[in-house]
């Protein structure tokens, strides 16, 4: 019995002493992993000592606990960097600091790419994403940020109007809608612009308020799996714009450009002799209407357009902060007479780290004033229609310009039109947001993020056509004035948690994101339309008497509430899986169809990491990608699920007891109207050879939009009207991209 008691006692003592010895024989290794070229921290590096391993965080820090005391080899592994190893000696109960500087092997695989609600290494992206950095931007005369990436990304079409301040349309993999917007969602420093695109502007390009010189990078989320994290606003793709931050040393920057633009190719038109010969042959009865001039009407309205731009910036940084203040002045004439844009823009970026770098704050504020002078409607068409035998000037005319007498289909003098008519706009716009990111000390790898932002616009668009214009008198309009003064406010509140497992989960690395988003849009637009002006003297400086006057006041309001999540799993950069889900609730739809789900899944297989290709020295990277996702498009009018009421006119009255009664009639509606849905498949191959000197991608995509919104006729008696706006029809867009 004593022997049994003694044996049990020895076992208990051994069980107590063994963990004590184990505790005494282990230590900790920690440090920072940086890029040897840029000295920036490198995240996602696998660091291994013996049987212990960990992943570096976003700030490059890593920590290995429970490392057996003694001498062993520390090893690193990450795609795009040469493996590093170092002998380390760990003492019991001690902390050893080992900082590592990794040498890039393929720069394009190691770069960080901005994605929705976070960043990823380019080599770990499973969707079709194109990032264009500042050193790759187009140069020359750049008015709008969209011109920076023209012809830089496969599948992205940038169409200019060639008018300063004019509209620039972007199409990512073609159109997805007929009646809703086809513009992508723009996100500037994490702030979505408006609820469905660029926002409001008196000009024709809602991005004109951003100084292109302030932009650090533009990332295009081309396929639905990359964009699906933005849900109901992502059917047309997403463009993420990141602005510049302060540099390490205080610096003053200046850049300036001067430009000249000219028309190099014009429509082939008949000259005076050719036109006279054509009239004599085909319309001999009209020869008497010909003049004796030789006028090139295209040359009368175009010109050499000169422009200048100046950019100033002051930037710097301290131990825990950095800042950048910028100013931009742009004055650009157009190639058509009397067209121009002038922009004054200010930008401020400020970053601050607090609480031992656990809390990061980023503040970004931008504001601008843009003046646009547009070509009055009809100048171009009338320059084509005027005969070359007619003179520009006529001293006997009231305006001093020649015009045809009589007839309502004759062309107007385009020189008279652009010199006497006015079409102009002014836009004030400011956007700003503050982003806070806090690494929770209780859970390593868990970070809480908050984003508060605003987008405010006030614009004026006005045009004036005096009554003495030939076009006004021949149509009996007798002068017109139009003024529109829209104001819009968009606010955004977003909060999300991001978790990067500090150690491998199973064979791979795991990171998770989950959050909430609230957006509200409000706009009011007063409009005034006057026809038959009593005087031309006031121009745009007042409101004259008029034969007819129509004034409107339009108010629009919408809200979007969202819940979203994403999971990424990476096994040694060889097998990569990603999935996301967003649940959107929009006020633009009836209560029964207000909520929608937008999922995505994608996978990547890096074949170049397999053993049968690992020894192929010239092959830097070869990765297969596949994805499926569903996105939505809610970029159309508000209140379509609710009836509107119209007061009847003289043709919509009824007779009752000897009196004509004015009617008030409701519009026909579909209470179940909802967003257009786009489902998309993408299959891609990424490749890089010669240490990344040559790289590219091949993508095949197939996307189908269903529940397209149309105004269609309905059977009599089934609704209160003959037409209703509803979801009907579908369209498909597919293609192959080579980059």
**Residue 50 pLDDT level (bands cut at 50, 70, 90):** confident
- d(CA 739, CA 324) in angstroms, rounded, equals 34
List Cβ neighbours of 698 (8 Å cut-off, separation of 6 or more).
Answer: 684, 685, 736, 737, 738, 739
Between residues 337 and 107, the one the model is more confident about: 337
pLDDT digits (tens, 9 = 90+) for 501-512: 888 888 889 999
CB-based contact 471:386 (threshold 8 Å): no
- d(CA 30, CA 78) in angstroms, rounded, equals 18
- d(CA 177, CA 632) in angstroms, rounded, equals 11
CB-based contact 627:601 (threshold 8 Å): yes
- d(CA 594, CA 686) in angstroms, rounded, equals 39
Place of tokens 């620039």: 168
Q: Is 732 exposed, middle or buried (0-12, 13-18, 19+ CB in 10 A)?
A: exposed
- Position 165 scores a pLDDT of 64
- Position 650 scores a pLDDT of 76
Q: What is the mean pLDDT of the chain?
A: 88
CB-based contact 392:413 (threshold 8 Å): yes
- d(CA 375, CA 380) in angstroms, rounded, equals 9
pLDDT surpassing 90 at residue 528: yes
- Position 105 scores a pLDDT of 77
pLDDT digits (tens, 9 = 90+) for 347-375: 999 999 999 889 999 999 999 999 999 88
Query: What 3-state DSSP class applies to 201?
Result: coil
pLDDT digits (tens, 9 = 90+) for 109-126: 778 888 989 888 888 889
- Position 144 scores a pLDDT of 85
Which residue blocks in 587-674 are alpha helix, DSSP H?
611-614
Arithmetic mean of pLDDT, 681-688: 93
**Residue 203 pLDDT level (bands cut at 50, 70, 90):** low
- Position 564 scores a pLDDT of 96
pLDDT digits (tens, 9 = 90+) for 423-446: 999 999 999 999 999 999 888 889
Overall pTM surpassing 0.95 (yes/no): no
CB-based contact 403:417 (threshold 8 Å): no
Which residue blocks in 166-262 are alpha helix, DSSP H?
224-227
Q: What angle do CA 467, 470, 474 make, to 5 degrees?
A: 90
- Position 404 scores a pLDDT of 85
Pairing of β 26-35 and β 95-97: parallel
């Amino acid at each position: 019995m004593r022997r049994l008691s003694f044996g049990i006692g020895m076992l208990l003592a051994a069980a107590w002493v063994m963990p004590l010895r184990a505790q005494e024989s282990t230590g900790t290794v920690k440090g920072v992993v940086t890029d040897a070229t840029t000295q920036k921290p490198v995240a996602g590096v696998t660091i291994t000592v013996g049987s212990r391993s960990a992943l570096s965080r976003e700030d490059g820090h890593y920590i290995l606990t429970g490392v057996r005391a003694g001498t062993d080899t520390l090893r690193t592994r990450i795609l795009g960097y040469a493996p590093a190893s170092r002998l380390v000696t760990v003492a019991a109960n001690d902390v050893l600091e080992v900082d590592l500087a990794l040498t890039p092997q393929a720069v394009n695989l190691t770069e960080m790419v901005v994605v929705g609600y976070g960043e990823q290494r380019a080599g770990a992206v499973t969707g079709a994403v194109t990032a264009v950095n500042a050193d790759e931007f187009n140069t020359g005369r750049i008015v709008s940020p969209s011109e920076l990436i023209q012809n830089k990304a496969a599948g992205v079409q940038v169409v200019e109007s060639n008018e300063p301040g004019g509209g620039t349309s972007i199409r990512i993999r073609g159109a997805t809608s007929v009646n809703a917007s086809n513009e992508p969602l723009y996100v500037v420093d994490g702030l979505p612009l408006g609820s469905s695109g660029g926002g409001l502007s008196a000009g024709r390009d809602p991005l004109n308020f951003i100084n292109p010189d302030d932009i650090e990078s533009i990332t295009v989320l081309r396929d639905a799996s990359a964009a699906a994290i933005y849900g109901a606003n992502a059917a047309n793709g997403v463009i993420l714009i990141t602005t510049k931050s302060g540099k390490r040393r205080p610096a003053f920057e200046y850049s300036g450009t001067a430009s000249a633009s000219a028309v190099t190719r014009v429509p082939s038109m008949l000259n005076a002799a050719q036109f006279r010969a054509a009239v004599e042959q085909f319309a001999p009865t009209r020869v008497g209407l010909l003049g004796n001039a030789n006028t090139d009407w295209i040359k009368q309205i175009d010109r050499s357009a000169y422009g200048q731009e100046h950019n100033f910036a002051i930037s710097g940084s301290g131990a825990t902060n950095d800042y950048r203040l910028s100013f931009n002045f742009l004055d650009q004439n157009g190639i058509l007479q009397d067209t121009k844009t002038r922009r004054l823009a200010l930008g401020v970026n400020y970053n601050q780290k607090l609480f031992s770098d656990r809390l990061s704050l980023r503040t970004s504020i931008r504001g601008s004033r843009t003046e646009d002078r547009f070509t009055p409607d009809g100048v171009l068409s009338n320059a084509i229609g005027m005969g070359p035998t007619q003179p520009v000037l006529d001293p006997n005319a009231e305006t001093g310009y020649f015009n045809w007498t009589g007839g309502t289909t004759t062309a107007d003098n385009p020189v008279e039109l652009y010199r006497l008519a006015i079409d102009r706009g002014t836009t004030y716009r400011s956007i700003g947001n503050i982003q806070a990111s806090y690494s929770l000390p209780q859970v390593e790898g868990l970070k809480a993020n908050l984003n508060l932002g605003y987008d405010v616009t006030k614009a004026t668009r006005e045009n004036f056509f005096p009554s003495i214009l030939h076009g006004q008198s021949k149509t009996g309009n007798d002068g017109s004035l139009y003024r529109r003064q829209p104001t819009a406010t968009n606010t955004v509140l977003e909060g999300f948690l991001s978790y990067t497992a500090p150690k491998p989960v199973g064979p791979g690395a795991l990171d998770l994101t989950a959050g909430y988003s609230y957006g509200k849009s409000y706009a009011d637009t007063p409009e005034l339309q006057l026809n038959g002006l009593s005087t031309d003297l006031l121009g745009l400086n007042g409101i004259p008497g008029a034969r007819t006057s129509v004034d409107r006041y339009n108010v629009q309001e919408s809200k979007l509430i969202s819940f979203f999540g994403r999971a990424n799993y990476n096994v040694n950069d060889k097998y990569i899986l990603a999935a996301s889900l967003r649940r959107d609730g929009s006020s633009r739809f009836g209560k029964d169809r207000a909520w929608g789900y937008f999922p995505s899944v994608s996978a990547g297989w890096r074949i170049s990491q397999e053993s049968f290709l690992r020894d192929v020295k010239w092959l830097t990277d070869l990765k297969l990608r596949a994805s499926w996702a569903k996105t939505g498009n809610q970029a159309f009018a508000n209140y379509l699920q609710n009836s509107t009421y119209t007061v009847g006119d003289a043709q919509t009255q009824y007779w009752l007891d000897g009196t004509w009664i004015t009617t008030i009639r409701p519009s026909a509606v579909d209470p179940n109207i909802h967003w257009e849905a786009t489902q998309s498949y993408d299959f891609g191959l990424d490749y890089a050879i010669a240490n990344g000197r040559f790289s590219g991608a091949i993508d095949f995509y197939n996307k189908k939009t269903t529940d397209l919104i149309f105004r269609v006729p309905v059977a009599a008696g089934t609704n209160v009207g003959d037409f209703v706006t509803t979801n009907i029809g579908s369209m498909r867009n597919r293609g192959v991209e080579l980059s």
